[in-house]
Amino acid sequence: MIQMAPLIRADLEGLDARDALAPLRERFTLPEGILYLDGNSLGALPKATAARVAQVIEAEWGKDLIKGWRQHGWMALPSRVGEKIARLVGAEPGQVVAVDTTSINLFKLLAAALRLKPGRKTILSEAGNFPTDLYIAQGLAELLGSGYRLRLVEKDEILDAIDGDVAVVSLTHVDFKTAEIHDMAGITAHAQAKGALMLWDLCHSAGAVPVALDRCRADLAVGCGYKYLNGGPGAPAFLYVARRLQEALEQPLTGWLGHADPFAFEPHYRPAAGIARTVCSTPSVLGLAALECGVDAMLAADFAALNAKSTALTELFIRLIEERCSTFGFTLASPREAVRRGSQVSLRHRDGYAIVQALIARGVIGDFRAPDYMRFGFAPVYLRYVDVWDAVEHLRRVMAEAAWQRAEFQSRAAVT
């Protein structure tokens, strides 16, 4: 994309000037003096959010009170926001709802998967999966007893480990530490050929990398609203169930809003038709209103262009690290090949924790994951090419000046 002589900042100003996606940045509030490379952990604030949430509070709840449930479509929010997220993850309508949390949705769908595959007792995952995914599977297996188990293998052992006892393979599409992308189509096909269901966690994918759930014939998926979907801290999550599985799907969190007729107040649960049976409780109206603003900001963009920019930003970061920080002992933990990498670059360094703290002190917000991963997320909706230059320049100075050796950056007491 760029000439091969060492880059200078002006090159990147040129890229920004020609960037058709640049106006998207105006949809977000970004604090002065901050280079925010942590949208993979908590997305930035869309400018529309504050006014929309204020409207829900003051004009809807405040003025119409209980009538808001119908008058303002609150009851339909899980479905309405879910359908919008569906467009970001390659799902036809009627298969996604925005509801509850990633962990809770995972519990619902893993439990449902085990019931769809009677006789099979294993949930298969990888040892490096995001911990909550493992904890939830452990909690479910322990609750069920009777030989149900979570089996953990290394990334390169997954395909071989899918045997006749595996009911469901549960993987995170983009690795939270390294941003490595799993081959969704290939692993899904392999799992299904072995008689297992395939569940994808899209926490680090939705809004960040191309996802084609339907085309890959995924069975089940969950994902997060507060990372690349910019829904705000603790935003509701989402889940996907392929249409072909929905009528047989029995999930155990059978709350009243997943009932076929919630306001009939029948004493016995009858699941709603279709994806609605995965809803459990009264929806979080404030949370869903904020999430919808974040999703709308993503839908305003051409998604192919967004993915191309995401790749360009991470490529650029890696190239600049190679050109300008090659002597500081960083190891690239993310795949060098762009197509195998999410919208994040991870570097490993023995002193990664202190380096991240020193960067934060300079206004460059990345994060650290034990034992030695420095994570830098590149949300293409609000980051510029010059931001990548400036972040690398801050990192170069931190290293050149050995700033990270100062005592205040060494203390682990401040770990987030």
Q: Which residues are catalytic?
A: 130, 201, 226-227, 375
Q: Are 384 and 16 in contact (CB under 8 A)?
A: yes
Q: In 145-265, which residue ranges form alpha helices assigned H by DSSP?
A: 158-161, 184-193, 243-246
Q: Taking CB under 8 A as the criterion, which residues in 228-267 touch a second copy? A: 232-237, 250-257, 259, 262-267
Strand 344-348 and strand 364-365: pairing? unpaired
The CA distance from 11 to 351, in Å, is: 31
Counting contacts by CB under 8 A, is residue 351 touching a second copy?
no
Instruction: Please state the closest distance from residue 370 (CB atom) to a second copy, in A.
Output: 6
Counting contacts by CB under 8 A, is residue 148 touching a second copy?
no
Counting contacts by CB under 8 A, is residue 275 touching a second copy?
no
Q: Which stretch in 4-12, 30-38, 192-200, 321-329 sits in contact with a second copy by CB under 8 A?
A: 30-38
Q: In 174-333, which residue ranges form alpha helices assigned H by DSSP?
A: 184-193, 243-246, 285-299, 303-324
Give 172-201 as a DSSP string: ESB-TTT-BBP-HHHHHHHHHHTT-EEEEE
Counting contacts by CB under 8 A, is residue 69 touching a second copy?
yes
Counting contacts by CB under 8 A, is residue 411 touching a second copy?
no
Q: Whose Cβ is closer to a second copy: residue 113's or residue 325's?
A: 113
Q: How far is CA 188 from CA 15, 207, 214, 371, in A?
A: 37, 21, 11, 31
Q: Are 317 and 392 in contact (CB under 8 A)?
A: yes
Q: What is the dihedral of CA 283, 284, 289, 293, to 10 degrees?
A: -100
Q: Taking CB under 8 A as the criterion, which residues in 362-391 touch a second copy? A: 365, 367, 369-370
Q: Which stretch in 1-9, 282-290, 316-324, 327-335 sits in contact with a second copy by CB under 8 A?
A: 282-290
Counting contacts by CB under 8 A, is residue 100 touching a second copy?
yes
Counting contacts by CB under 8 A, is residue 53 touching a second copy?
yes
Binding residue for a second copy, selected from 20, 143, 212, 273, defined by CB under 8 A: 143
Counting contacts by CB under 8 A, is residue 139 touching a second copy?
yes
The CA distance from 269 to 178, in Å, is: 43
Could you tell me which residues are beta bridge partners of residue 45?
29
Q: Taking CB under 8 A as the criterion, which residues in 168-207 touch a second copy? A: none
Counting contacts by CB under 8 A, is residue 153 touching a second copy?
no
Size of residue set near a second copy by CB under 8 A: 91
Q: Which stretch in 99-107, 298-306, 311-319, 382-390 sits in contact with a second copy by CB under 8 A?
A: 99-107
